[in-house]
């Protein structure tokens, strides 16, 4: 398989958009955690604690998404430099691993989106318990 320099370059716009999305998610969750922590210090409510635990898992996933994306971008650069340098034996595996890491990042994103409803479920369950 021969790799051209434009092939790894195709991932650059996707990675940039994903990083923007990941950073926005991280900033939003950070603000939410700060507010929930402040509320928890005042009330020591188990409901708030459950929400904070859910957000902790989500932050861990977002950090993993960012790391996988950063390594993917780095390997895309390595692949492009290898193509320019005529080192196809390095370019192809670098790009392959970059694609796999981007896939890992997207799998983490899917899981994070799945558990993001967890905090809402906690609140909804609380409402149901109080109705009974």
pLDDT at 94 over 90: yes
pLDDT given for residue 68 in this prediction = 93
Which pTM was predicted?
Answer: 0.78
Contact 75, 98 (CB under 8 A): yes
pLDDT at 16 over 80: no
pLDDT given for residue 126 in this prediction = 74
> Nearest to residue 98, comparing CAs of 6, 15, 4?
15
pLDDT digit string (tens) for 18-37?
878 888 888 888 888 888 88
Q: What is the largest CA-CA distance in the chain?
A: 71
- The full set of domain ranges for the chain reads 6-131
pLDDT given for residue 132 in this prediction = 65
> Nearest to residue 71, comparing CAs of 100, 93, 108, 91?
100
């Amino acid at each position: 398989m021969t790799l051209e320099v434009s092939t790894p370059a195709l991932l650059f716009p996707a990675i940039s958009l994903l990083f923007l999305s990941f950073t926005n998610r991280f900033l939003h969750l950070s603000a939410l955690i700060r507010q929930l922590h402040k509320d928890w210090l005042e009330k020591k409510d188990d409901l708030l604690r459950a929400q904070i635990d859910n957000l902790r898992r989500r932050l861990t996933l977002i950090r993993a998404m960012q790391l996988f994306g950063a390594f993917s971008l780095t390997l895309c650069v390595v692949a492009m430099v290898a193509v320019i340098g005529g080192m196809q034996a390095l370019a192809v595996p670098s790009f392959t691993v970059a694609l796999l890491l981007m896939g890992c990042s997207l799998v983490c994103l899917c899981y994070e989106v799945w558990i993001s409803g967890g905090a809402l479920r906690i609140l909804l369950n609380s409402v149901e318990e109080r109705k009974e």
